[in-house]
Amino acid sequence: MKVTRLPDVEPRPRRVAVGTFDGVHLGHREVIRDADTVLTFDPHPTTVVHPAAVPKLITTLERKAELVGSLGAQELVVIPFDRDFAAQSAQSFIDDILVGALHATHVSVGENFRFGHRASGDPAMLAADGRFETRVVQLLEADGEIVSSSHIRGLLLGGALDYANQLLVDPFVMRGEVVHGDKRGRELGYPTANLVPEEAYVLPGHGVYACVANGSHLAAVNVGVRPMFKTGRGELIEAYLLDFAGDLYGSQLELTFHHRLRGERRFESVDALIEQMGRDVEETRRLLAERG
């Protein structure tokens, strides 16, 4: 997957899918189908046009590129979204970007896609332009709800991981640098690799999850604030990698969330917590056994 900033694109005919595509969920995948190029925006447009309502993102740009590439697209073209771009007219977006820079022969968008200054452009405006074919994809519904990034964010925050993963198709992923914690897990017999959540990205609801770390190691992961102990810390992601021995401090850790095991809670005693952690580990092993 080639990732190109808009100013650096090479001239060639393109079949272009356009959108923010946070999460690259089921609905996005229908828009992207048959496109060789995906045009997206970074940062999220809301950061500029409505900063008070910026959503926590599901995917980093790196993760988005991986997902888009897995769908068969050859190139992810990224528009650096700033105030100058936000002020660009809808007609300029078509003339200068879709036609001028990308040489689009086909353009695919969702039915709710808007573009240009004050969101004045819409799919009908694209369809009226005879220089390229326009494909407008209807919003996808599942169980009576529109499949959207905002809906999936709510599911993740509410702990409905399994359903969120169904809509995402590829399981939810978090990445970060392993940092030093309070060594509490080591004292309890379950040493953990700890990640501090990034403020800009959505965090699954507090609880324990069956995950895969770095693509190969099974991991029981706690997301939350550790109510048994007064640490003075905020939210933390603590990953116990099953059957692993080694030093991960300072390295990058990728966690793929497959199942939610339970919510985070306070236990009557440390021994009761340790017993539950043992059950969490065995449940993780059972649920993900087919991965080896």
Interacting residues of 153 by C-beta distance below 8 A, sequence separation 6+: 55, 56, 58, 202
At 180 the pLDDT is 85
At 242 the pLDDT is 96
Segments of the chain assigned to CATH 2.40.30.30: 171-291
Question: Where residue 196 falls among pLDDT bands split at 50, 70, 90?
Answer: very high
Return the half-sphere exposure (C-beta side, CA atoms, 13 A cut-off) of residue 209.
30
Active centre residues (catalytic): 238
Task: Indicate whether 128 pLDDT > 70.
Answer: yes
Task: Indicate whether 225 pLDDT > 90.
Answer: no
Task: Indicate whether 230 pLDDT > 70.
Answer: no
| DSSP-assigned states of every residue in 82-126 | -HHHHTS-HHHIIIIIIIIIT-EEEEEEETT--BSGGG-B-HHHH
Pick the CATH number of 2-146 from 1.10.357.10, 3.40.50.620, 2.40.40.20, 3.90.1170.40: 3.40.50.620
At 91 the pLDDT is 98
Task: Indicate whether 228 pLDDT > 60.
Answer: no
Question: Where residue 233 falls among pLDDT bands split at 50, 70, 90?
Answer: low
Task: Indicate whether 246 pLDDT > 90.
Answer: no
pLDDT digits (tens, 9 = 90+) for 69-125: 999 999 999 999 999 999 999 999 999 999 999 999 999 999 999 999 999 999 999
d(CA 261, CA 126): 46
Contact 236, 195 (CB under 8 A): yes
Question: Where residue 234 falls among pLDDT bands split at 50, 70, 90?
Answer: confident
Amino acid letter, residue 62 = E
Measured CA distances, 266 to 62, 184, 188, 274 (Å): 36, 15, 15, 12
At 94 the pLDDT is 98
The mean pLDDT of 277-285, rounded to a whole number, is 97
Cα distance from N-terminal residue to C-terminal residue, the chain? 28
Mean pLDDT is lowest, of 61-65, 137-141, 198-202, 232-236, for: 232-236
At 236 the pLDDT is 93
At 47 the pLDDT is 94
Task: Indicate whether 215 pLDDT > 70.
Answer: yes
The mean pLDDT of 154-169, rounded to a whole number, is 97
What are the backbone angles phi and psi of residue 210, rounded to the nearest 5°? -90, 120
Contact 262, 207 (CB under 8 A): yes
At 189 the pLDDT is 80
* Dihedral over Cα of 118, 124, 125, 127: its sign: positive
User: What's the CATH fold of domain 171-291?
Assistant: Elongation Factor Tu (Ef-tu); domain 3 (2.40.30)
Task: Indicate whether 62 pLDDT > 90.
Answer: yes
Task: Indicate whether 43 pLDDT > 70.
Answer: yes
Task: Indicate whether 130 pLDDT > 60.
Answer: yes
Segments of the chain assigned to CATH 3.40.50.620: 2-146
Quote the pTM value: 0.92
Measured CA distances, 247 to 83, 194, 251, 252 (Å): 44, 12, 9, 12
The mean pLDDT of 155-176, rounded to a whole number, is 97
Question: Where residue 245 falls among pLDDT bands split at 50, 70, 90?
Answer: confident
The mean pLDDT of 244-264, rounded to a whole number, is 94
Question: Where residue 201 falls among pLDDT bands split at 50, 70, 90?
Answer: very high
Measured CA distances, 71 to 29, 30, 44, 123, 137 (Å): 8, 10, 22, 23, 17
d(CA 126, CA 19): 14
